[in-house]
Amino acid sequence: MTTVHTTIRHPVSFVSHDLTLAGDLHLPAGHVGPGPAAVVTGSWTTVKEQMAGLYAQRLAERGYVTLSFDFRGYGASEGEPRDVELPAAKVEDISNAVDFLAGRDEVDAERIGALAVCASSGYAAVAATRDDRIRALTLVAPWLHDAELVKPIYGGPEGVRSRVEAGRAARKRFEATGEVDYVPAVSAEDESAAMFGPFDYYLDGARGGIPQWGNRFAVMAWPEWLSFDPISVAPRITVPTTIVHSDDAAIPEGARRFAEKLEAPHDALWIGGTQFDFYDQEPNVGTSVDAAASHFAARL
């Protein structure tokens, strides 16, 4: 039987690239440590109070010390300009989050993993190739793309090209004037949105449409996002990796390509559900957390 702990959440902060990032440290009640821990991250554009915080709490209920946090320029963290989706910066923030955990008395620095949901799976994967303190990876509903997979998602080669050009123009304008061009991160009406469609998780205030989330996407981020290729780093990952995904979720082909390239020990659990079911719905969240807890118990 799985032991479920009550948890305590402590607001914390740590430094990344000379910026103070805001986080929540989730502890199993009565935990004294040092014990295993995990950095927990969510989808692109999101803040710690969304899926990252939920997974961090649920994993803490399984006995792990967990850290969810706002990436630089998001939520309560420092960083200008705001809401710019830059993979390289987020990879660095994950490594500095590991550094923070490794320095905590509650944490065994030799037993730190990463649990990443959706887009941050790519960031965590890259971080694991650069930071050997990350000893195990769990990727939940991972959004993992490459140059070919982005084309059908963003309107074919022309759709990708137009976004890259808009991003370069927005970057040039920002560098000249300091002004940032934004579009909605999610919209069911505005076709310029980074995610256009009836995506209830983000549009429902009872789910992900919370006040802490700005729902905006800096246009200048398009070139970096569209050229980001976490699938290519899979052969360089040396730590055990588990994937939880669904054929009805986002880019299952990307997860399969990534897994095929992995040379480290790995497995995958394929279940039902849409991408957004993995963010806050049962049984997807519970199944994913159980898989992460089992993986970390065996590997950390």
Peptide bond into 157 cis (omega under 30): no
Strand 19-28 to strand 65-69: parallel, antiparallel, or no bridges (unpaired)? antiparallel
Alpha carbons 215 and 217: distance in angstroms, whole number: 7
Domain ranges of the chain: 7-146+229-299
Mean pLDDT on 292-300: 97
| 3-state DSSP assignment of residue 183 | strand
Give tens-digit pLDDT for 53-109. 999 999 999 999 999 999 999 999 999 999 999 999 999 999 999 999 999 999 999
Alpha carbons 150 and 64: distance in angstroms, whole number: 35
> Is the pLDDT at 152 greater than 80, yes or no?
yes
Alpha carbons 244 and 138: distance in angstroms, whole number: 8
Topology annotation, domain 7-146+229-299: Rossmann fold (3.40.50)
Enumerate the β-bridge partners of residue 115.
40, 138
Give tens-digit pLDDT for 139-151. 999 999 999 999 9
| pLDDT-based confidence at residue 3 (cuts at 50, 70, 90) | confident
The answer to whether 261 and 231 have CB atoms below 8 angstroms apart is yes
Peptide bond into 28 cis (omega under 30): no
Give tens-digit pLDDT for 221-272. 999 999 999 999 999 999 999 999 999 999 999 999 999 999 999 999 999 9
DSSP string, the chain: ------EEEEEEEEEETTEEEEEEEEEETT--S-EEEEEEE-STT--TTTHHHHHHHHHHHTT-EEEEEPPTTSTTS--SSSS---HHHHHHHHHHHHHHHHT-TTEEEEEEEEEEETTHHHHHHHHHHH-TTEEEEEEES-----TTTHHHHTTHHHHHHHHHHHHHHHHHHHHHH----EE-SEESS-TTSSEES--HHHH-TTTT--TT----EEGGGHHHHHH--GGGGGGG--S-EEEEEETTSS-HHHHHHHHHH--SSEEEEEE---TTHHHH-TTHHHHHHHHHHHHHHHH-
> Is the pLDDT at 1 greater than 80, yes or no?
no
| Number of Cβ within a 10 Å radius of residue 175 | 9
| pLDDT-based confidence at residue 32 (cuts at 50, 70, 90) | confident
The answer to whether 55 and 288 have CB atoms below 8 angstroms apart is yes
Give tens-digit pLDDT for 128-141. 999 999 999 999 99
Model confidence, pTM? 0.97
Q: Chain-centre distance of CA 265, in angstroms? A: 22
